[in-house]
Amino acid sequence: MRVALSVTCVNDAMFPDTGKAVVTLLRRLGVDVAFPAGQACCGQPMVNTGYLDEAVPVVRNYLETFAGYDAVVTPSGSCAGSARHQHDIVARRSGDPALVEAAAGAPPTYELSEFLVDVLGVVDVGASFPHSVTYHPTCHSLRMLGVDDRPRRLLEAVRGLRLVDLPSAEECCGFGGTFALKNADTSIAMGADKARHVRETAAEVLVAGDNSCLLHIGGMLSRQRAGVRVMHLAEVLAAQEGAA
Amino acid sequence: MTATFVGMPPFPEAARAALADTQLRSNLAHATATIRAKRAAVVAEVDDWEELRLAGAAIKDNTLLHLDEHLVALEAALTARGATVHWATDAAEACAVVARVARDHGVDEVVKVKSMVTQEIGLNEALAAEGVLAWETDLAELIVQLGDDLPSHILVPAIHRNRAEIREIFERRMKDVGRPAPDDLVDDPARLAEAARLHLREKFLRARMAVSGANFAVAETGTLVVVESEGNGRMCLTLPDVLVSVVGIEKVVPTWQDLDVFLQLLPRSSTGERMNPYTSTWTGVTPGDGPQEVHVVLLDNGRTRALADEVGRQALRCIRCSACLNVCPVYERTGGHAYGSVYPGPIGAILNPLLRGVGTDEQVDSLPYASSLCGACFEACPVRIDIPSVLVDLRAQVVDAHRAGAPKPEALAMRAAAWSLGSGARLGRLERLSGVVGRVAGRLGRRTLPGGRRALGRLPGLGGWSGARDLPAPPVESFRAWWRRTDGGRTEERA
């Protein structure tokens, strides 16, 4: 199986360690993931702000880059959701039948926890991370993809990791892409409550499957000097801290 | 009582004011959490809930597909049973019909059972202009009306008020419009309900004309249905001589069998009850029993516009249960007034633009953006309205409506972003620039974030972000640069 990594524009530019963690993790599990250099973005920022015409070349680039692979894996529930639910809309908007066909025939884009649990069939990925962790299920992974408890099962199998339940875990953190800027006050009000719930857990690390949500929650926690760090699920699953 | 939504600012501005209202935040957080828990418990009891949702959506879709036929059938059945049917294209036409009936009977007051649609068309204000007072008889609507306030929730219009505020409103205002509040009123729910009951009883027994909406209109028999939980609907629908019901054209269901599905879906989704307390049905005029003159106003007011919208037409499935409001993290914090309409929350964010059209009113155009697209509304909706998808589609309609003319800064930023994000090479060049910023921040940055990265200072133009959130400095090396330098980490592993 030829598997390509779609690292996402946010991770590529801002969180390279997450991408590296995915590579480390997948190699450990015997998957030699490819990184097609043409990749850039899934188009979601444009689509969700209403700029469909602008999204056309971005989606075209995505579809061209990953055509020919058997599967695409991405460390983002939101970008996987965009690939699976929005590319078809953008392709139809373009009026280009070839692009519509490319979207229909594109290889499946899996969010990381789906790829690990469903495609590779593993739950124990051989990780070791002796810290207290709370997990925030991001909205798009939960409701657009339906990843359900896959990330939790992966985390529960990590050596030394103590998983603490996050109160009101399934409530949105308030990031929402350009919502965070266009409706900044409401976004921050939502983030303040999420940050409060994170603090209530007294966990050392907040984990999620989307770095954009973590950029928002982590940004608030750090502004509050909360003493909590945020980490992408991939980085925890790649960790082998103190492993024998 | 002149409060209206006219002149409300766009959502972000209205939300900012609401977010600072601590009483509102506290009332809403408490009320929505209570309803959410009740709903979740009773929905979990139903084994075939998902099948019921699918059935509800399918019945509505199929009815909307043949709406013209069902409406004509409804009109024929209503007329055969002695009702007078009026067709209204817009709010003005509908209000004129109700005002004319009031004038014909020489009444100067009407009792109303809570109805969203009469608020949508501004009926109370239109009647007031004709010298006719409209008394709201639903407890929460009474609170809103007495408080010169606006409704902020579809089902619980006074959700933003707590019992102490309600007692104060009753004490201050009841005496101006009828039977005063008891002298020894306290903020105990039962005592407050009793005060409302005594105050309203006077009006019920006096009124000669009533105005209602309808939750459903059954075409096969010409039967209107009102679903409420206080019994005030029953009073309005049986005591007066004249009854006018204003009904949106999307309320029609073909048969009683179809109604069955919605009477299962609605109470569990709205009040979190297994069964609705007062379900009233009436069919035209029954000689010697109840109103002897029955009018039904079938209202469009933008519904055919919504029906023409391929993605958005599913919003016409809505049965006004307000489950989407109660689960919405935006609504819970801003409350309903920020949406500037009697239809607030997620459904309001799509319904108002669909009914009114986008591209002409800044307030309406702001509504599709009043969501983080978290999808909790879609999950809760008993008729499976995919609100996030409709929101995204409406955003595109808003942007498209403004494509002619000078582009706004946002449009320019999006074009630039799309260009940069349209190729790996272009994104890579940008990342080399951001790497320089990262290197400088690494030397000059004064704060280290949890986990070890340097913080970026406040950024010009990004105050909306950096006002409340730290931002890590960009990394010196992007992922793609690392991959190229190390052959995907292989040379690093060997080293």
| A107 & A163 share domain | no
| A193 & A96 share domain | no
Q: Do B372 and A16 touch (CB under 8 A)?
A: no
Q: Do A19 and B479 touch (CB under 8 A)?
A: yes
pLDDT tens string B182-208: 999 999 999 999 999 999 999 999 999
Q: Is the dihedral of CA A210, A214, A215, A217 positive or negative?
A: positive
| Half-sphere exposure (Cβ direction) of A203: Cα atoms closer than 13 Å | 26
Tell me: pLDDT of A196 over 80.
Answer: yes
Q: Do B450 and A228 touch (CB under 8 A)?
A: yes
Tell me: pLDDT of B323 over 80.
Answer: yes
Q: Is the dihedral of CA A69, A60, B365, B92 positive or negative?
A: negative
B315 falls within a domain: no
- Read off the CATH number of the domain in which A213 is found: 3.40.50
pLDDT tens string B351-394: 999 999 999 999 999 999 999 999 999 999 999 999 999 999 99
Domain boundary among A119, A143, A178: A119
CB distance from B175 to chain A under 8 Å?
A: no
- Crossing angle of the two packed helices A87-94 and A52-66, in degrees rounded to 10: 110
Kindly report the average pLDDT of chain B as a whole number.
95
From chain B residues 190-229, the ones with a CB under 8 A of any chain A CB are none
C-beta separation of B252 from B74 below 8 A: yes
Q: Do B372 and A37 touch (CB under 8 A)?
A: no
Domain boundary among A119, A148, A165: A119
Kindly report the average pLDDT of chain A as a whole number.
97
Average pLDDT over residues B126-143: 96
| B427 & B297 share domain | no
C-beta separation of B385 from B378 below 8 A: yes
Which of B315-319, B411-415, B462-466 shows the lowest per-residue confidence on average (mean pLDDT)?
Answer: B462-466
Tell me: pLDDT of B2 over 70.
Answer: no
C-beta separation of A173 from A213 below 8 A: yes
- Read off the CATH number of the domain in which B119 is found: 3.40.50.10420
Selecting from B372, B379, B423 the residue whose C-beta is nearest the C-beta of A61 gives B423
Q: Do B369 and A187 touch (CB under 8 A)?
A: no
Q: Do A143 and B375 touch (CB under 8 A)?
A: yes
What was the pLDDT predicted at B17?
Answer: 94
CB distance from B417 to chain A under 8 Å?
A: yes
C-beta separation of B65 from B250 below 8 A: no
Beta bridge pairs of residue B448: B454
CB distance from A190 to chain B under 8 Å?
A: yes
Closest residue of chain A to B15, computed from CA coordinates? A186
| A155 & A178 share domain | yes
Selecting from B11, B480, B488 the residue whose C-beta is nearest the C-beta of A12 gives B480
What was the pLDDT predicted at B460?
Answer: 75
Q: How many independent structural domains does chain B possess?
A: 2
Which of A182-196, A207-221, B167-181, B460-474 shows the lowest per-residue confidence on average (mean pLDDT)?
Answer: B460-474
| B261 & B126 share domain | yes
C-beta separation of B113 from B228 below 8 A: yes
Amino acid code (one letter) for B47: D
Q: Do B431 and A13 touch (CB under 8 A)?
A: yes
Select from A8, A18, A51, A94 the residue whose CB has the most chain B CBs within 10 Å, as the one to mutate to test that interface.
Answer: A51
CB distance from A216 to chain B under 8 Å?
A: yes
Q: How many CB atoms neighbour CB A40 within 10 A?
A: 27
Domain limits for position A86: 3-119
Q: CA-based angle B405:B411:B415, to the nearest 5?
A: 115
pTM: 0.96
Of A130, A162, A18, A140, residue with least CA distance to A84: A140
pLDDT tens string A63-119: 999 999 999 999 999 999 999 999 999 999 999 999 999 999 999 999 999 999 999
Helix (H, G, I), strand (E, B) or coil at B448: strand
Domain boundary among A69, A86, A119: A119
Domain boundary among B273, B304, B335: B304
The DSSP result for chain A, as a single string, is: --EEE---HHHHHH-HHHHHHHHHHHHHTT---B--TT----SHHHHHHT-HHHHHHHHHHHHHHHTT-SEEEES-HHHHHHHHHTHHHHHHHHT-HHHHHHHHTPPPEEEHHHIIIIIS--S--S-B--SEEEE---HIIIIII--TTHHHHHHHTSBT-EEEPPTTTTS--S-TTTHHHHTHHHHHHHHHHHHHHHHHHT-SEEEES-HHHHHHHHHHHHHTT---EEEEHHHHHH-BTT--
Tell me: pLDDT of B1 over 50.
Answer: no
From chain A residues 86-145, the ones with a CB under 8 A of any chain B CB are 86, 93, 139-140, 142-144
Selecting from A46, A176, A187 the residue whose C-beta is nearest the C-beta of B418 gives A46
What's the token pair of residue B279?
């379900």
Q: Which chain A residues contact residue B488 at CB under 8 A? A: 23, 35
What was the pLDDT predicted at B116?
Answer: 94
- Residue A91: C-alpha distances to residues A61, A74, B201, B417 (Å): 12, 21, 61, 19
Q: Which chain A residues contact residue B421 at CB under 8 A? A: 9, 40-41, 43, 45, 58
β-pairing, B223-228 vs B216-218, is: antiparallel
CB distance from A169 to chain B under 8 Å?
A: no
Give the distance from residue B449's alpha carbon to the nearest chain A alpha carbon, in angstroms. 6
At B3, the pLDDT band (50, 70, 90 cuts) reads low
C-beta separation of B73 from B220 below 8 A: yes
B314 falls within a domain: no
Q: Which chain B residues contact residue A183 at CB under 8 A? A: 11-12, 15, 330, 369-370
C-beta separation of B208 from B293 below 8 A: no
| B289 & B435 share domain | no
Q: CA-based angle B153:B158:B162, to the nearest 5?
A: 130
CB distance from A38 to chain B under 8 Å?
A: yes
| A141 & A69 share domain | no
| B296 & B416 share domain | no
| B299 & B418 share domain | no
Domain boundary among B272, B304, B336: B304
Select from A14, A90, A210, A220 the residue whose CB has the most chain B CBs within 10 Å, as the one to mutate to test that interface.
Answer: A14
Question: What length does chain B have?
Answer: 495
Closest residue of chain B to A177, computed from CA coordinates? B372
| A64 & A22 share domain | yes
Q: Which helix (H) or strand (E) is B84 found in, with range?
A: strand B84-88
Distance CA B328, CA B109 (A): 38
Selecting from A58, A143, A186 the residue whose C-beta is nearest the C-beta of B422 gives A58
B329 falls within a domain: no
Contacts by residues B481-484 (CB-CB < 8 Å, ≥ 24 positions apart): B481/B428, B481/B431, B481/B432, B481/B435, B482/A16, B482/A19, B482/A20, B483/A19, B483/A35, B483/A37, B484/A37
What was the pLDDT predicted at B444?
Answer: 84
What was the pLDDT predicted at B494?
Answer: 66
Predicted-complex ipTM score = 0.98
CB distance from B15 to chain A under 8 Å?
A: yes
- Residue A211: C-alpha distances to residues A16, A235, B303, B331, B372 (Å): 11, 11, 41, 25, 16
Average pLDDT over residues B86-111: 98
CB distance from B469 to chain A under 8 Å?
A: yes
Q: Which helix (H) or strand (E) is B280 found in, with range?
A: strand B278-282
What was the pLDDT predicted at B495?
Answer: 60
B440 contact partners, CB below 8 Å, separation of at least 6: none
| A157 & A206 share domain | yes
Domain boundary among B304, B335, B365: B304
Selecting from B19, B417, B465 the residue whose C-beta is nearest the C-beta of A45 gives B417
Beta bridge pairs of residue B293: B242
The phi and psi torsions of B14 (rounded to 5 degrees) equal -65, -35
Q: CA-based angle B446:B475:B434, to the nearest 5?
A: 95
| B35 & B162 share domain | yes
Helix (H, G, I), strand (E, B) or coil at B212: strand
Tell me: pLDDT of B154 over 70.
Answer: yes
Give the distance from residue A201's alpha carbon to the nearest chain B alpha carbon, in angstroms. 17
A8 falls within a domain: yes
B82 falls within a domain: yes
Q: Do B19 and A39 touch (CB under 8 A)?
A: no
Q: Do A185 and B15 touch (CB under 8 A)?
A: yes
Distance CA B418, CA A177 (A): 15
At B19, the pLDDT band (50, 70, 90 cuts) reads very high
Of B421, B420, B456, B460, residue with least CA distance to B439: B456
A243 falls within a domain: no
| A92 & A167 share domain | no
Chain CA centroid to CA B448, Å: 44
Distance CA B146, CA B299 (A): 28
B386 falls within a domain: no
From chain A residues 144-163, the ones with a CB under 8 A of any chain B CB are 144
Domain limits for position B249: 11-304
Q: How many independent structural domains does chain A possess?
A: 2
pLDDT tens string A138-178: 999 999 999 999 999 999 999 999 999 999 999 999 999 99
CB distance from B11 to chain A under 8 Å?
A: yes
B372 contact partners, CB below 8 Å, separation of at least 6: A139, A172, A174, A175, A176, A177, A179, A187, A190, B329, B330
Distance CA B346, CA A2 (A): 41
Select from A129, A172, A235 the residue whose CB has the most chain B CBs within 10 Å, as the one to mutate to test that interface.
Answer: A172
Task: Report the percent of chain B where pLDDT is more than 70.
Answer: 99
What was the pLDDT predicted at B371?
Answer: 98
At B78, the pLDDT band (50, 70, 90 cuts) reads very high
- Which parts of B244-361 fold into alpha helices (H)? 256-270, 303-307, 323-327, 329-334, 345-356
| A17 & A93 share domain | yes
Beta bridge pairs of residue B286: B289
Give the distance from residue A196's alpha carbon to the nearest chain B alpha carbon, in angstroms. 14
What's the token pair of residue A240?
């082998």
pLDDT tens string B206-236: 999 999 999 999 999 999 999 999 999 999 9
Average pLDDT over residues A123-131: 98
The phi and psi torsions of A127 (rounded to 5 degrees) equal -95, 160
CB distance from B479 to chain A under 8 Å?
A: yes
Distance CA B149, CA A46 (A): 39
Distance CA B275, CA B282 (A): 19
Of A47, A43, A86, A95, residue with least CA distance to A65: A43
What was the pLDDT predicted at B458?
Answer: 77
B89 falls within a domain: yes
